[in-house]
Amino acid sequence: MDETELRQRVETLLAEHPPEATDRLDFLHARFDAGLAWVHFPEGLGGLGLPRGMQPLVDKALYRAGAPDNDPRKIGIGLGMAAPTILAFGTDEQKQRYLRPLWCGEEVWCQLFSEPGAGSDLAGLATRAVLDGDTWIVNGQKVWTSSAHLADRAILLVRTDPDQPKHAGLSYFVLDMHDPGVEVRPLRQITGEAEFNEVFLTDARIPDGDRLGDVGAGWQVANATLSNERVAIGGGAFPREFGMVTSVARTWRERPDLRTPSTHERLLRGWIDTEVARITATRLRQKMAAGVPGPEGSAMKLSFARINQQLSALEVDLLGDDGLRYESWEMRRPTHVDFFGKDAGYRYLRAKGNSIEGGTSEVLRNVVSERVLGLPSEPRVDKDVPWKDLPR
């Protein structure tokens, strides 16, 4: 299918389901069934088996026609992490069952990986799943779970064989977040919000048919999820002067009385770093379109955390006393992170989490050094020891 045929398919969708006269969910269903949800996915799963680079053609045409979107900020974990993992490791039945409601926003997803004793060392996690007939019984605790209070389903990494070394005894499941054994508690952040949660699993039940990948192959599946997460964070299409530098540059232009040589130099460095990140993201998308994603995802995640923290600090410094203002400390449970609908103080505080979420900067530096640059790894004495024998 070439671009002309793809445009014709979009026009047919709009003619048969006029956005102004079609229920929002009905339109999204029709778009998915027409293969226009994510064109690089296979036919029958919301795609057409086309290069990823052809998706913007669809998105722009539908945006101009006033078509509804699937609220991607609310379902970002499902789109960026769960969906590509299901596509790579799921059975045909799982793909048919999960992908359509996921993309259409009928089901919100979250990620249950990190634990109080296994954050940076994810393979050391302790949440246990024991097989009882054809059902797994799960007990444990997860933490730092974005959107768990909204989620219908979760991608879950658990330990199924404590007699194996820590990387080998893991398995990967899809969890129904409405199971009676699932309890979600808010974690109030420095911003006053609770977009994160801790999740307690007490005899939660998962059918074996909701396992992704083989028993014991959870580490392989989880790595695919984490790679897609970093691409989702850093692989977007961005305009020039985007993100955190936008608000800082606006303040600089509107308030010449705040300028100093020192802040001028900091702004220029931030602007240049942002532009380098934008160009790198373009290269990442080009590699993804060619089917050969490179290490840019991890590098972009590292860069965004550093740039956001430096520029948000600059904005607070620029504003002086006004930078100390804070809109509200009221407890809120948002549906997504909104850096730019709030004041500079919020941006400064929220950016502190960027170097933790999606993989800590320290761990990502190890990933880049070992897997990209080929540097020797640090000595690890626990790789071949059964998990049950490790000190915790």
Q: Which residues carry out catalysis?
A: 229
Q: Which two tokens stand for residue 112?
A: 């249950």
Look up residue 181 and give its amino acid: G
Determine contact, residues 82/103, Cβ cutoff 8 Å: no
Q: Which two tokens stand for residue 95?
A: 């793909």
Determine contact, residues 336/73, Cβ cutoff 8 Å: yes
Q: Residue 202's closest CA among 140, 128, 287? A: 140
Element (DSSP H or E) covering residue 183 = strand 182-187
Helices (H) and strands (E) in the chain, counts: 12, 8
Q: At what angle do helices 261-289 and 296-319 cross, to 10 degrees?
A: 160
* Beta strand 170-176 pairing with 153-159: antiparallel
Determine contact, residues 341/387, Cβ cutoff 8 Å: no
Give the span between the Cα atoms of 177 and 148, in whole angstroms. Answer: 8
Q: Residue 293's closest CA among 307, 281, 278? A: 281
What residue has token string 């050094």?
369
Which residues, 6+ apart, have CB-to-CB distance to 304 below 8 Å?
233, 234, 243, 277, 354
Q: What is the DSSP letter of 165?
A: B
List C-alpha distances in Å: 63 to 58, 198, 340, 356, 368: 9, 37, 22, 34, 37
Residue 216 backbone class (left: φ over 0; alpha: ψ -120 to 50; beta: rest):
left
Q: Which two tokens stand for residue 266?
A: 């900091």
